[in-house]
Amino acid sequence: MPTDGAIFFDLDGTLTDPKPGITGSIQYALRKLDRPVPTQDELTWCIGPPLRASFAVLLGGEGLADRAVELYRERFGDIGLFENSVYPDIADVLAALRQRPRRMYVATSKPHVFATRIVAHFGLTDYFDHVFGSELDGTRVNKVDLLAYALEQTGADPAGALMIGDRSHDVIGAKRNGIRAVGVTYGYGTAAELLEAGASQLCASPRAVLDHIHRTFG
């Protein structure tokens, strides 16, 4: 791979641990809809995949999914997005990667209006060339579409790029676009999920991600 290959990082479950904010905001929406409210631990499967699809499962159909997303954003937009924490060593890993002539991007299914604020809040903005996310209307919420758009906007060569993420849709989105996918097991996806989706490598820590990138890019 060329030394200037692009690296795309997922946000939730890869750069930051968003569990309290996401699950708490899902609980808020379900409570507002007078539906059963699972515990936060029971909702961790919702971290990563497109939110509307998760609500459709939780609500047993599509009927109230859009309203649930609206209610979720009532809480998430002011409170939930900052109920979040950066994984240990992430800042050091990003700083080390920035010492080489590489382009680095965030690629998340989360709306970019939220993702950009989260990245800035945690002081990570300077590590990235751009934050790619979905639109509030659901455009590019699918990781396949998001990464295709990111490749188009950046002109990056997919054959020389990496996608780093913790869930199967990160891996599938990358593979469908000809990008090699690295799965991280410190997030919310299992090793089995990531390997079944086609991850070329598993990393158990941010430091392991750094080591793999150094081996891959030189």
Q: Out of 10, 12, 17, 166, pick the active-site residue.
A: 10
CB 47 within 8 A of CB 41: no
Catalytic annotation on 12? Answer: no
Q: Which of 47, 44, 39, 66 is nearest to 55 (CA)?
A: 66
**What one-character-per-residue DSSP string does 57-93 give?**
HHTTSSTTHHHHHHHHHHHHTTTGGGS-EEPTTHHHH
In Å, what is the CA distance from 20 to each residue of 3, 43, 71, 119, 189? 37, 10, 16, 17, 17
CB 151 within 8 A of CB 176: no
Instruction: Indicate which residues carry an active-site annotation.
Output: 10
